[in-house]
Amino acid sequence: MRTLPTVQVALDGAMPDMGLAEVARRRLVVRDSARRSIRRRRMAGRAMQVICLIAVPIGVAPLVALVLATVSKGAGAVNIGFLLHAPTPSGVPGGGISTAIAGSGEIVAYAIALAVPMGLFIALFLFERPGGIASTIRFSADVMSGVPSIIIGIFAYAVYVERFHHFSNVAAGFALGVLMLPIMVRANEEAMRTVSVDLWEAGVSLGARRSRVARSVVLRGALPGVVTGNLLAVARGVGETAPLLFTVASPTFAMTLLIFNDATQPFSDAQQTAWGTALVLLALVLILSVTARMVAWTLNRKTR
């Protein structure tokens, strides 16, 4: 076992002042101490590996159980007619979820139109203008990311529904946009922070304005992370139910509300519709997540 250079120099320097036996004894003590330290670290590393191996199935098991339950109970309801037909009243078989799919798509489109541009502009401001205001906005975004979605639904009801005196998909899109905005802001800013500082300095040294460098250099380099973060925020917004309870006029206008409404009905066909809608929604979220990863991988290859 090799000893540390500093220990070796100290021992060699002490050789003229002590006997060879004492030097050998001290070297043996250092060697034994190093062996014990390495043994402890290896044991700790193996223990952590075992803990991780145990934690993986514990963490994955609920997800697998959820997916299997949704597939087993909802697969029988999903077909072409289920996707293309309109919902029927409770207790009447043969209904579909076409209006819920269209309504969810419209709501998410409104949310994207609100959150994506604002999230990008705010992230550019945070990247370009460090200081007290930027720190306050960043802290507010972090706090808003943890606010329960039902509070955002109440906020959207007070700001939009009460003001215009009617429920609408626009109000629901506003609620989901507020929910998605802080996630997009933080994801966009972190993606911009990954761009090399050399590229920023090179653009500034050529005489370009800071805003131009941020748009043309930083934003282009951060595009994979920006797209990924925005798509993941959209995936979260698609699956939210609480904000829609205060903003959407009918449960048949959104998939999550249709699930919430039909799952509590005493009719078996309504419960089957709820499971089928849950399966469609689960597949949609999976598609969005996979799309985010594929887009990020493709853009990373192009930027290289």
The total of other beta-carbon atoms located within 10 Å of residue 176's CB is 32
Residue 14 has pLDDT above 60, yes or no: no
Residue 135 has pLDDT above 50, yes or no: yes
User: Is-contact 253 169, C-beta < 8 A?
Assistant: yes
How does the average pLDDT of the chain come out, rounded? 82
Q: Mean pLDDT over residues 197-218, rounded? A: 72
Q: How is the chain split into domains, by residue range? A: 5-74, 80-303
pLDDT band at residue 10 under the 50/70/90 scheme: very low
Cα dihedral 73, 75, 79, 83, rounded to 10, equals 60
DSSP character for 72? H
Residue 154, pLDDT score: 92
CA 110 to chain CA centroid, Å, is: 20
Cα dihedral 154, 156, 162, 168, rounded to 10, equals -120
Residue 1, pLDDT score: 40
pLDDT in tens, 289-304: 888 778 777 766 765 5
pTM of the predicted model as reported, rounded to 2 decimal places:
0.75
Residue 6 has pLDDT above 70, yes or no: no
Give the contacts of 287 (CB within 8 A, at least 6 positions apart): none
209 or 121, greater pLDDT: 121
As a whole number of angstroms, the distance between CA 283 and CA 268 comes to 23
Residue 304, pLDDT score: 59
Alpha-carbon Rg for the chain, nearest whole angstrom, is 29
69 or 15, greater pLDDT: 69
As a whole number of angstroms, the distance between CA 251 and CA 7 comes to 74
15 or 206, greater pLDDT: 206
Closest among 132, 119, 275, 87 to 189, alpha carbons compared: 119
As a whole number of angstroms, the distance between CA 121 and CA 35 comes to 56
Residue 122 has pLDDT above 60, yes or no: yes
Structure tokens at 210: 């800071």
Q: Mean pLDDT over residues 110-136, rounded? A: 87
From 93-102, 116-125, 190-199, 237-246, the region with the lowest mean pLDDT:
190-199
11 or 192, greater pLDDT: 192
pLDDT band at residue 158 under the 50/70/90 scheme: very high
User: Is-contact 230 119, C-beta < 8 A?
Assistant: yes
Q: Give whichever of 55-64, 91-100, 211-220 has the largest mean pLDDT.
A: 55-64
Residue 144 has pLDDT above 80, yes or no: yes
Q: How far is CA 27 from CA 8, 18, 37, 114, in A?
A: 8, 13, 15, 69
User: Is-contact 104 256, C-beta < 8 A?
Assistant: yes
In the block, tokens 């309109």 appear at 86
Q: Within 75-97, where are the H helices?
A: 80-84
First to last CA, the chain: 44
From 155-159, 165-169, 183-187, 265-269, the region with the lowest mean pLDDT:
265-269
pLDDT in tens, 32-62: 888 888 888 888 888 999 999 999 889 889 8
User: Which amino acid belongs to residue 21?
Assistant: A
What is the fold, at CATH topology level, of the domain defined by 80-303?
Answer: MetI-like fold (1.10.3720)
